[in-house]
Structure 1
Amino acid sequence: MIDVPLKVSDLGLSSPPLSGSIKRKPEDFQVTEVPLYPPSGQGEFLYLQIRRTGMNTRDVLADLGRAFQVLPDDVGYAGLKDRQSVSTQWFS
């Protein structure tokens, strides 16, 4: 972790000084996807909850496509997640 002092006066504002830190490790950024609704149980779907670090959503889609012999476009997901995080995400 890098500590970077930041003074409001550096920004041209007149307030008390602020301090903070810049976080750099994937563990500093935790993302847990919460589905809007539970699986319906209808149809032939496989739901996977995947926890990953060092991979973005597109990397996971490519791996799932190869593993299940489907096109990555045929895999459902709710949104893109950053590679530089610890992300838990649902795929179908």
Structure 2
Amino acid sequence: MKYDYTQLDVAKAIISGALDENNFNVSLAQAFIEGYSEHYLIEKGYIISSLKMLWFMESTWWINQSMDQHSGPPERFAKEMIWLSENQKELESMLRDI
């Protein structure tokens, strides 16, 4: 696979790895960032801005009038975008310590 903008790549890895159904596992996100931080400097708030950027950049691809017809990975991506849209305001409190 090729890479995208680094913040989007990080956000994609975190949302796909830490979101199970409607439950976001903060400890999995934290574990990812701890490992990632061994190679790259991560500033406080990086995850929050990354996830917001991911929603902004990709929500229109996955949340649309034909999204009920998605299957496989596109269905998961749509669910991740819906979760992000419903939890934008909670990201600060959920991830403030990371």
Task: Return the TM-score normalized by structure 2.
Answer: 0.25
Task: Return the TM-score normalized by structure 1.
Answer: 0.26
Would you tell me which structure has more strand in proportion to its own residues? Answer: 1
